[in-house]
Amino acid sequence: MFPESIQNAIILYFKQQGEREVEIISASPVSGGSINDAFRIKTSLGQFFVKYNDASRYPEMFEKESRGLQLLRDSNSISIPDILTAGEAGSYAFLLLEFIEPAREADHFWQNFGKNLAAMHSHKAEKFGLDHDNYMGSLYQYNNFHDNWTEFFIVERLERQVKMAREDGSIGRVDITGFERLYKRLDEIFPSSEPSLIHGDLWSGNFMTDRQGNACLIDPAVYYGHPEIDIAMSTLFGGFNQKFYDAYNNHNPLEKGWEIRLDIYNLYPLMVHVNLFGGGYLGSVQKIVRKF
């Protein structure tokens, strides 16, 4: 059931936007999410997408998601749903977005996706990180600023996940030693780069097809990082069409050796999975750590 308190909060939101009588006609569950409950609501103003959770469960998750989506939208490079509001209603927190109607992919879907993502990555910042922390899935993601990419990736990404896994006993001494050995090599493995605007969680469940038939990004874990992070994640659970990589490379040529680096970047989402879902993902982590 779609909570009444959220319905009322949505009606109030529209009133504050100057709409007079707004009626919620129906609400039907949307499947596919792993963290929150999601609904498609039909209203007298049209359809919208709402996801919600207990407000205390993941503090400020939707404000952060909304800020991340807004940053991606502001880059004017790739399709992102309209963001209406992130709010609270009773004990719930919710996010209200444009509803992306399932649509067919346009002829040049993958080429456009590659080109648009490259355009998004062309938005640069002075430092790696972001002016606020956010979430990667349901895990807190720290975005403290660093001048150096290798340092950022070790301190804000791997070390934090390794610490969490060590504290709850998912990994042991041998694994930690493997990570420490890897950290020492990262400077020579990673190319230098400018901080780029990245989605941060770009697996195949985090894009949809918009009305124009183009890829529309959802559910980001935004920060300014190395563009190869998004490329790496796109290969993690299935991989995107080759046309995507070709188009991306045409617009933002990946530096030599990028294929080799992808595994290292994917240690981060894999460790997030170890921390969320346990040991099943540890084998993949160990294999990568051993390789380097």
| Minimum distance of ligand ADP from residue 74's CB (angstroms) | 18
CB of 279 to ligand ADP, least distance (A): 22
CA-based nearest residue to 289, from 176, 139, 207, 208: 176
From the list 32-40, 189-197, 248-256, 270-278, the region that binds ligand ADP by CB under 6 A is: 32-40
Q: Is 93 left (phi over 0), alpha (psi -120 to 50) or beta?
A: beta
Nearest to 67 by CA among 135, 140, 142, 160: 135
Q: Which residues contact 58 (CB under 8 A, 6 or more apart)?
A: 35, 93, 135, 138
- Which listed residue (131, 133, 175, 201) is catalytic? 201
Tokens representing 65?
């998601």
Q: Which member of 100, 198, 215, 285 binds ligand ADP (CB under 6 A)? A: 100
Site string for ligand ADP, 48-67 (x = CB under 6 A): -x-x----------------
The radius of gyration of the chain from alpha carbons, rounded to an integer in Å, stands at 20
Strands 215-217 and 223-225: unpaired
First to last CA, the chain: 49
We find the least distance from the C-beta atom of residue 19 to ligand ADP, in angstroms, to be 20
Q: Which stretch binds ligand ADP (CB under 6 A): 3-11, 97-105, 161-169, 272-280?
A: 97-105
**Residue from 120, 247, 267, 123 nearest 190 by CA:** 267
CA distance 233 to 289: 17
Minimum CB–partner distance for residue 96 and ligand ADP (Å): 9
Q: Which among 92-100, 169-177, 258-266, 282-290 is the span making contact with ligand ADP, rule CB under 6 A?
A: 92-100
Residue 147 annotated in active site: no
Question: Which of residues 59 and 172 has its CB atom nearest to ligand ADP in the complex?
Answer: 59
Restricting to residues 190-219, which ones interact with ligand ADP according to CB under 6 A? 205, 218-219
Positions marked active-site: 201
Contact positions toward ligand ADP, by CB under 6 A? 30, 32-36, 38, 49, 51, 81, 97-100, 205, 218-219
